[in-house]
Structure 1
Amino acid sequence: MKIIQATGQTCNQFWIYSHYFAESLASGDKIMILAPDIALKDYPNLTKQRFLKYPFYNKLGVSVLSYKRYVRILNLVFANKITIRIFTYLFKLIPKVSFVEGHMEAFTSSKKSKYKKELKKIFKPTDVVVDFVDKFIKEKRGLFQVIVGVHIRRGDYQTWHNGKYFYTDEEYNKIIGQLKILFPNKRVGFLICSNEKIYLENFNNKDVFFFKNSSAAIDLYGLGLCDYVVGPPSSYSAWASYYGNIPLYFLKDINNRISLDQFFIDEFPWPPLNIDKK
């Protein structure tokens, strides 16, 4: 049995866990996660797997403390550096049980491609999310022949890599203009998703739209239903590409002239150490 605590935000954790899950699907070995990610409630199949257990996550704790508070407490207790250091040493003394602090690129499973269908089921969002997004995209399919998902990453990207991948709405406008030219004689729509408020009036294109009353799960699933995904290097847009099996383009250089041959579909388009190879 492996006790795994992945690091990073939601999609970093999805990437990390997916490799270990693929191994467990092949071997039947059990996995235990002590501190779940805050997005757990949006992905109910994660709590329904025979090989996967969350020993400290339960309905009683949620009802007493509220979901967000309970998950945050579990992460404060089990995902802090001191606890991880103790567990790393302690579980070396216990036979047949190993503790892993999961980092991006620390472990890559060769079985991930084989079990992609099963992994997609495990990481499927709630029916509410799926039904809402499916209906929305279906309506847009009636208007557009091609839909490009544009992931506008803000927030922490203002400082990550010294803001190298933090772009303005004006710069995204130029990117959208470039992308439109790639599909001559076709009606092209653009689904914009962001971790900050979107102001449509900042975009000059009438074919730009977004999810009202959105969430991270809605945006992520929606991007995966587009025909193409564009965004700064991020595990979020990379996961959408992986989940939807759609071509991805990383905005590494905002001044680069985009062409369709620069998009790629890759089983492992993340973590970020690989982005300069694309």
Structure 2
Amino acid sequence: MFPRSILVINSKIGQLGNSLLVSSHVIASAIENNLLVINIPFDDYAEFFIGTKNNLLCSYPYSLVYFPISKKMMLRGRTAFLIRKLIQKMNKYRIFSDYYKHHIEFINIDWSDRFSLESRDFLDQLTSKKIRVLNGWNFRAESNVIKHAAKIRSYFSPLPIYQQRVTKFLDWLNKLNKKYDYIVGIHIRQGDYKRWHSGRFFYTTAIYKEIIQSIYSVLESKKILFIVCSDVPQKEQFNNTKDIVFGSGHLIEDIYLLSKCDYIIGPPSTFSLWASFYGETPLYHIYDPSHLPKIQDFKVQDDLLWNL
């Protein structure tokens, strides 16, 4: 069945986690309503995922725009740049004014605004325009995300090379002489979080160590392995700390590794939010570092809602 209309994601809205979150909500709406998605700003991360690697416009369904792409070609980035420039000019100067007037709608929202892709107003207007260009961050379709989670996970599965590296790492852990009851992923973010929200969610390594120690009583086990994935090096800070290993530091390998843990702990971040969704792994976001988590505080983020 040919798509009823096209949704164009046009805004670059942060790093990997943010891009995965917004893309997933828009794709979920597209699956539910038979729409085509063109995801222009995802070109930065397209090379890492099965659904986007050879997909020039990072579209969904990806079978509609298949194109074998080498990173060296720089084709995807140049194509995305040209499309963004064209959209910018169309929006500003109303180029092709007659076509624009009858077939294109720009939906522009501020960072703090929320736009529901499940609202009756949006759904009733779907066929009134052929193309809708989405500018903003908070486009959401949480019910559709839950309903179509399997398809979203399949589309955004890491390429086999990254899956194999993580599997090899986990196999090595399983061969250790010490058997663990649980593997807990610790997501540490100390680079840009010094500035984000005025440093509200920047936590020192000492704070993470305190939380790690509390998890032994939370899970009622002394046999817990902690995998630290961080945006800054942590090995010296955790020197001689038992039951600690470290992720590779590669963006995709770390997010996939976190998804394979039994539990995830970290500051509020769409990076760990996505890992929880992808692996159906219970997550605890640290909003108050003085509060030590309880087991009921860990939740699987199956709707990909960001509530900060």
Shorter-normalised TM range: 0.7 to 0.9
What is the distance in 1 between the residues matched to 2:131 and 2:93? 11
Contact residue 155 and residue 195 of structure 1 kept, 8 A: yes
Larger radius of gyration: 2
Q: CA deviation at 1:147?
A: 0.5
Alignment of 1:20-35 (within 5 A): 20-35=26-41
What is the distance in 2 between the residues matched to 1:267 and 1:122? 16
Partner residue of 2:154 out of 121, 126, 131: 121
SS of corresponding position for 1:165: coil
Q: Mark the runs of 5 or more structure 2 residues left unpaired by the alignment.
A: 1-5, 104-128
SS of corresponding position for 2:242: coil
How far does the alpha carbon of each residue in 1:220-272 deviate from its partner, in whole angstroms, 9 at most, with x for none?
Answer: 0000000000000000011111111111111111111221111112323531x
For normalisation by structure 2, the TM-score amounts to: 0.76
**Closer, same or farther in 2 for the Cα pair 1:110/1:258, shift >3 Å?**
closer
Pairwise CA RMSD: 3.0
**Closer, same or farther in 2 for the Cα pair 1:107/1:184, shift >3 Å?**
closer
Contact residue 264 and residue 272 of structure 2 kept, 8 A: yes
Residue 59 of structure 1 aligns with which residue? 69
**Closer, same or farther in 2 for the Cα pair 1:168/1:78, shift >3 Å?**
farther
Contact residue 142 and residue 305 of structure 2 kept, 8 A: no
What is the distance in 1 between the residues matched to 2:213 and 2:93? 51
What is the distance in 2 between the residues matched to 1:231 and 1:92? 46
Q: CA deviation at 1:24?
A: 2.0
Contact residue 200 and residue 208 of structure 1 kept, 8 A: no
Q: Mark the runs of 5 or more structure 1 residues left unpaired by the alignment.
A: none
Alignment of 1:83-232 (within 5 A): 83=88, 86=91, 91-94=100-103, 95-104=129-138, 106-142=139-175, 143-212=179-248, 214-232=249-267
Residue 269 of structure 2 aligns with which residue? 234
Q: CA deviation at 1:15?
A: 0.9
What is the distance in 1 between the residues matched to 2:10 and 2:166? 30
For normalisation by structure 1, the TM-score amounts to: 0.83
What is the distance in 2 between the residues matched to 1:134 and 1:39? 21
